[in-house]
Structure 1
Amino acid sequence: MQAPAIICHAMKPAMQPRHRIVIAAFGPAQMLDITGPLEVFAMANTCCRSAGRPAPYELVVAAPQAGPVMTTSGIALLASESIVDPALQADTVLIAGGVGARAAVRDSALIGALTALCRRVPRVASICTGLFPLAATGLLKQLRATTHWSHFDEFAALFPDVRLDPHALFINDGPWHSSAGISAGIDYSLSILETDMGRQLALEVARNLVVFLKRPGGQAQFSAPLAAEAAADDPHRFAALTEWIQHSRSSDLSIDRLAEPVPMSPRNFARRFVEAMNIAPAKYLEKMRIDAARRGLTDGTDSVARIAARCGFASAEAMRLAFRRHLDIGPHEFRARFRTAGPGKRAAHAA
């Protein structure tokens, strides 16, 4: 009697568990703080499925109670889980901002539950004023963080033991991350997508969402030209000149050179520029150059000397002194602090 044949079936590789992202929302919540990151990770899932790969993320919205959570836009979103549930699990928690997030710091029971959740999660981040409840947990003492520029003073008064950094779009300090206002949550989400899954997928997601990949964490919350325009009394008076300055950062932009196209005498130009823009021409130029240098330091690999020359500084030392004056940090330290992390370097911490 012939022995039965033994049929071997090739074992399929075990499916990798999906990375579970929980967005914690406190009504009324800032809608874009929730939907912006959600769309980044949902688009990553779509791109992976289209390429025949499994979706890498599981997305969950949680609130103090499961059910509708109101947003400041007047539209309710549905939270499927509760923040206070001790069984709630996540690989990443994103804490959305809004009026409700700032009010949550006064609810000791809610902050206690949030603290317990944060302690058992490998990566925790705040979006915009979501930094308020995260700081209320006490987990950020003596650590660097950022939030929306309009709430700096309010935050500093409540949490003086957190090292608030006004010069960053988003910050990672160990497992605790924070990002600035509203749309910066999209930039931050693209950055962690790049860390988790690589630059190629992050770039594909950015293209599909028609956004930049990505504003680096070291970029200011608003650009130097926008900040100058907001502070000016008459920004239109020298609009053509300031537009030209943004595209011509030659080191030879003296007062005489700037006055030529206006046309005015150098002395009259300097006086009229201050009247209109509330800033001296030399200071304006320096801010433009620092803005450009920040991008060069975080986005590329050129030397500090080459970036300094390209941005119109007289030397690398001149750029270093300007950085110290405006940012209280040197170019080399700035680059080390805000350079993009490579793929696969996911943050982790012990409970």
Structure 2
Amino acid sequence: MGKESAPRRVVIAAYDQVQILDVACPSGAFEIANSHGAAPPYRVELATVSGEGARSSAGIVLAGARRLAAVTGPLDTLMVVGGAGARAAVVDEPLLTQIRRLAARSRRVASVCTGTFVLAAAGLLDGRRVTTHWGYGELLAAAFPAVTVDPAPLYLRDGDVYTSAGVTSALDLTLALVEADHGPTLAREVARELVTYLHRPADQAQISMFLAAPSPGNGVVRDLLGYIAGHLDADLSPPALAARAGLTARHLTRLFATHVGTTPARAVRAVRTEAAAYLVRGSELPLAAVARRCGFGTAESLRKAFLDHYGVTGDTLRRMTDMPRPAAGAPGQTPGA
């Protein structure tokens, strides 16, 4: 087989108590890329220190593994996955030794979730900007001060090293790798086959404002967030929200800081931006109409919001998927409404 047609070897390094989705998302996406004509195709290999497979944290044993020490020759991608077992993996010197050896043979190195800890423990992330699951960013930064940790993005690339956030962000990372290797058309075909809504941009926040609801005891803030989501084109300024809740603007700001972790104005902007992104990617509305519907007023204001929130323009977001778009909903309608 000629060099140009040789498969792209992807080795997924695993260990006991691995998160099964960290393995399934990339291996499944690479498989589907092959079925849609990836040329050269991917050849995925699961490898562990013992070669006896890995027991996932769900109790399912991932069999068919190779011994890491038996993996030779050049690799396209070395991917280290995460899970509850990462705590033990970071002090497993035989594992770290093999990670260092294989990284030197690989065109690129990637990690999923707490797999970033393993790469850091192997000394492969010093001086690099990386991400991990949002819940472990502070711990990663404290444990490895030579590493610059940004817990916000879904995934990051620093040179030939890719790191991603938790669990299903492994799918976003893998789609990015497929796109880098074979172009956006194949990546979109894989996304459609996986029935994923779209390939999310790297700089998209890990936690959506639609999921960042306050704790059950904070009914005022919850009610306001619900009102914001359902009235995007209304006056949602801090004074207007405070008046609606019967609070002073200062008290409203304190409540949002405590229970949402941001200011009322920033929360409104985030919800409007995410709703606008939904409409841009899921309808054929002109950007100016999306801007008015979501409370931005002008297409230019919406463009600035997209650049701040996603790092791309609305036109770029729309081009990221060529899936059939449903008719837009009623004015002010938000995802799931």
Answer whether TM exceeds 0.5 for this pair.
Answer: yes
The answer as to 2:52 corresponding to 1:72 is no
| DSSP 3-state at the match of 1:60 | strand
Q: Deviations over 1:108-128 (max 9, x none)?
A: 232122101101101110000
Question: In the aligned structure 2, how far is the partner of 1:332 from the partner of 1:259?
Answer: 25
Residue 212 (structure 1) aligns with: 197
Cα 1:288/1:182, change in 2 over 3 Å: farther
With 86-95 and 153-162 compared, the bigger mean Cα shift is at 86-95
Residue 160 (structure 2) aligns with: 175
How far the C-alpha of 1:95 sits from its partner, in A, is 0.6
Cα 1:290/1:240, change in 2 over 3 Å: closer
Counterpart amino acid of residue 23 in structure 2: I
Cα 1:36/1:61, change in 2 over 3 Å: same
Question: In the aligned structure 2, how far is the partner of 1:223 from the partner of 1:277?
Answer: 17
The answer as to 2:251 corresponding to 1:284 is no
Question: In the aligned structure 2, how far is the partner of 1:150 from the partner of 1:174?
Answer: 25
- Unpaired runs of 5+ residues, structure 1, are 1-12, 301-306, 324-329, 341-351
How far the C-alpha of 1:225 sits from its partner, in A, is 3.2
| DSSP 3-state at the match of 2:46 | strand
Tell me if the contact between 2:203 and 2:311 (Cα under 8 Å) persists in the aligned partners: yes
| DSSP 3-state at the match of 1:128 | coil
Residue 189 (structure 1) aligns with: 174
Tell me if the contact between 2:25 and 2:170 (Cα under 8 Å) persists in the aligned partners: yes
1:49-64 pair list within 5 angstroms: 56-64=41-49
The answer as to 2:1 corresponding to 1:16 is no
Tell me if the contact between 1:38 and 1:59 (Cα under 8 Å) persists in the aligned partners: yes
The answer as to 2:91 corresponding to 1:91 is no
Question: In the aligned structure 2, how far is the partner of 1:131 from the partner of 1:224?
Answer: 25
1:199-348 pair list within 5 angstroms: 199-227=184-212, 229=213, 231-234=214-217, 239=222, 241-246=224-229, 248-250=231-233, 252-258=235-241, 265=246, 267=247, 271=251, 278-279=258-259, 283-290=263-270, 293=273, 331=308
How far the C-alpha of 1:184 sits from its partner, in A, is 0.7
How far the C-alpha of 1:224 sits from its partner, in A, is 2.2
Question: In the aligned structure 2, how far is the partner of 1:292 from the partner of 1:20?
Answer: 42
Tell me if the contact between 1:167 and 1:220 (Cα under 8 Å) persists in the aligned partners: yes
- Unpaired runs of 5+ residues, structure 2, are 282-289, 318-337
| DSSP 3-state at the match of 1:94 | strand
Question: In the aligned structure 2, how far is the partner of 1:249 from the partner of 1:179?
Answer: 31
| DSSP 3-state at the match of 2:34 | helix
Match of 1:160 among 145, 151, 155: 145
Tell me if the contact between 2:10 and 2:43 (Cα under 8 Å) persists in the aligned partners: yes
Q: Deviations over 1:164-217 (max 9, x none)?
A: 002211000000110001111011111111111121211121112111221211
Counterpart amino acid of residue 181 in structure 1: G
Between the two structures, name the one with larger relative contact order (CA 8 Å, sep ≥ 6).
1
1:3-152 pair list within 5 angstroms: 16-48=5-37, 56-85=41-70, 87=72, 89-152=74-137
Counterpart amino acid of residue 264 in structure 2: Y
Tell me if the contact between 1:62 and 1:82 (Cα under 8 Å) persists in the aligned partners: yes
| DSSP 3-state at the match of 1:84 | helix
Question: In the aligned structure 2, how far is the partner of 1:331 from the partner of 1:128?
Answer: 24
User: Which TM-score applies when normalising by structure 1?
Assistant: 0.72
Tell me if the contact between 2:29 and 2:171 (Cα under 8 Å) persists in the aligned partners: yes
| DSSP 3-state at the match of 1:225 | coil
The root-mean-square deviation of aligned C-alpha atoms, in Å, is 4.1
| DSSP 3-state at the match of 1:160 | coil
Question: In the aligned structure 2, how far is the partner of 1:281 from the partner of 1:61?
Answer: 40
Question: In the aligned structure 2, how far is the partner of 1:281 from the partner of 1:85?
Answer: 48
Question: In the aligned structure 1, how far is the partner of 2:271 from the partner of 2:180?
Answer: 25
Counterpart amino acid of residue 102 in structure 1: R
With 26-35 and 151-160 compared, the bigger mean Cα shift is at 151-160
User: Which TM-score applies when normalising by structure 2?
Assistant: 0.75
Question: In the aligned structure 2, how far is the partner of 1:103 from the partner of 1:72?
Answer: 13
Question: In the aligned structure 2, how far is the partner of 1:293 from the partner of 1:250?
Answer: 12
How far the C-alpha of 1:89 sits from its partner, in A, is 4.0
Question: In the aligned structure 1, how far is the partner of 2:269 from the partner of 2:251?
Answer: 22
Q: Deviations over 1:287-320 (max 9, x none)?
A: 3414665896xx99xxxxxx99997679999x99
Question: In the aligned structure 1, how far is the partner of 2:147 from the partner of 2:82?
Answer: 17
With 54-63 and 36-45 compared, the bigger mean Cα shift is at 54-63
| DSSP 3-state at the match of 2:179 | helix
Cα 1:258/1:168, change in 2 over 3 Å: same
Counterpart amino acid of residue 133 in structure 2: H
> Bigger radius of gyration, 1 or 2?
1
How far the C-alpha of 1:285 sits from its partner, in A, is 3.4
- Tell me the number of residue pairs that the alignment of Structure 1 and Structure 2 aligns: 306
Question: In the aligned structure 2, how far is the partner of 1:275 from the partner of 1:293?
Answer: 22
Tell me if the contact between 2:134 and 2:152 (Cα under 8 Å) persists in the aligned partners: no
Cα 1:273/1:232, change in 2 over 3 Å: farther
Cα 1:204/1:268, change in 2 over 3 Å: same
